[in-house]
Chains A and B, each alone.
Chain A
């Protein structure tokens, strides 16, 4: 018994040590956001200090912060809704009416994810410029939808696959139409799965940094671009940078914490249960 207890405590120690090490950079950023700029670069680093909200106030004063944040929300939610709209019917068809091409279509969709964005940066840039979509939220929404569509189709497909066929059959016997079947039976059953798909899509869009850095300048620039604009001043505004970063990641971090279980199921495409 004594041996078992000591093992338990050793594991607890080890587990928490690893967790704290991995979380430390985020913790440090969070702490720094409440320091004054002087305290933020103090030697030795201060763990105990007089907390201040001045950095958050300063960020708030930069009125454009909320513009960036609004862009992030609009673009990630917009692209997620659009990709769900495209993906749900496709996943429904492929999950319940598979043909011999279904597997190939699914794999082909995933293979479009392999396309390195830089390979098509120039044409997409030129297309967006000519269509007047450069630095617009609509432009980013379209691109994020296309980037995430393969993963969204895959996830919803694997969630639909888990719905017992018998339920749908019974419903069909009762004379339900396809639309009724989708709306009243399938969607409620698959709702948790669709929700976690939406969460992942929002997380991926929120954090996407290649297209947002290259296709936006000011009007439609999301938080990724806002944060990147801080990369040039050499450590002059660490506390303010930390405050801005904290604001930028807090919503998505909480999203992630709440949905971690469902995220895994979706992310592995049902290959790992």
Chain B
């Protein structure tokens, strides 16, 4: 899909390997996967491009006709579209910063030896396995609900009054929910990376009189950079297309406050039945994702070499 990183899928026979007598043609082995993914990538994309130049509304399908770039000019001049792009960026960056920042601190904590550490770790990573629709509902109904939610009950008990999260701070509420879901993922991977750190090296640095902050800054953090890159890449893939959490809690509102790009296109396609407009929006989303992908792929490619 990403034109910049597309590689043609043909495979030549492998270079001769002196230590074996057998040549294996890899083409029939690799081809099924490659063809499946090629179809998955190209067929919908071509259809999206086709629709994006059509006037095509499911409520009035007979009026379908070629209208050039009208869909694009319409989408690009819709303030809602730009708001949704801004929301997407805020959402992705905020959750990345929270999960990687807190995840690093917690990984250092869980690297320490303490009583019941194994069980505590299992509890801490559990949110990752909970399906997004369930997490969103727990947070919406049982924790952030302005009347019966636990947060409201606690703040009211302290005499502070209740916060109506989804009315007053809708985007923050979504950020908190998604961060809760993904913090365990960052923790798990960063913890594994820390545990692979040579502890003798740490000990030596400590002997030399390095204080804990210097240890963290100059020994641990450089060691973690690769793991952080991996976490950032995988998380970005998923955060760009956050959908279920918004679908279940705010429905994109109030107004457009929590409408990210994914939800904006969903609204266009399935609520306004505007296939042409939704396809134009989808195409723009694909282009934007490609720009992000180029940067992410570079960091992964670097990791592949070593």
A interacts with B: yes
Q: B290: which A residues are within 8 A, CB to CB?
A: 114
Q: Max chain A CB contacts within 10 Å: which of B130, B136, B145, B300?
A: B130
Whether a CB of chain B sits under 8 angstroms from the CB of A149 is yes
A22 contacts which chain B residues (CB < 8 A)? 123-124, 126-127, 180, 183-184
Q: Does A79 contact B (CB under 8 A)?
A: no
Complex partner residue of A115 from B1, B109, B185, CB under 8 angstroms: B1
Q: Does A48 contact B (CB under 8 A)?
A: no
Judge whether B33 and A109 touch: CB under 8 Å.
yes
Once the chains bind, are B266 and A28 in contact (CB under 8 Å)? no
Q: Which residues of A contact B189 (CB under 8 A)?
A: 264, 267-268, 272
B29 and A228 form a contact (CB under 8 A):
no
- How far apart sit A96 and B226, CA to CA, in the bound complex (Å)? 25
Query: Can you report 30 residue pairs joining A to B where beta carbons are below 8 Å apart?
Result: A11-B112, A12-B116, A15-B112, A19-B123, A44-B153, A86-B32, A90-B33, A97-B26, A99-B11, A107-B304, A108-B6, A111-B2, A111-B6, A111-B297, A113-B237, A114-B1, A115-B289, A118-B266, A123-B44, A172-B22, A178-B22, A209-B132, A210-B243, A214-B266, A228-B244, A249-B130, A255-B129, A257-B122, A264-B188, A269-B303
Instruction: For the complex, count residues of A whose C-beta is within 8 A of B.
Output: 101
Task: Report which A residues bind B (CB closer than 8 A).
Answer: 8-9, 11-12, 14-16, 18-20, 22-23, 25-26, 28-29, 32, 41, 43-45, 86-87, 89-90, 92-94, 96-99, 101, 103-127, 145-146, 149-150, 153, 169, 172, 178, 203, 206-207, 209-210, 213-214, 223-224, 227-228, 230-231, 235, 238, 241-242, 245, 248-249, 252-253, 255-257, 260, 263-265, 267-269, 271-273
Contact of A11 among B8, B114, B131 (CB under 8 A): B114
Q: Does B275 contact A (CB under 8 A)?
A: yes
State which of B129, B180, B243, B262 has its C-beta within 8 Å of the C-beta of A252: B129
Find chain A residues with CB under 8 A from B122 CB. 257, 260
State the CA gap A112–B35 with chains docked (Å).
12
A107 & B48 in contact (Cβ 8 Å cutoff): no
Contact in complex: B269, A245 (CB < 8 Å): no
Are B261 and A269 touching (Cβ within 8 A)?
no
A268 near B227: Cβ-Cβ < 8 Å = yes
Residues in B whose Cβ lies below 8 Å from that of A255: 129
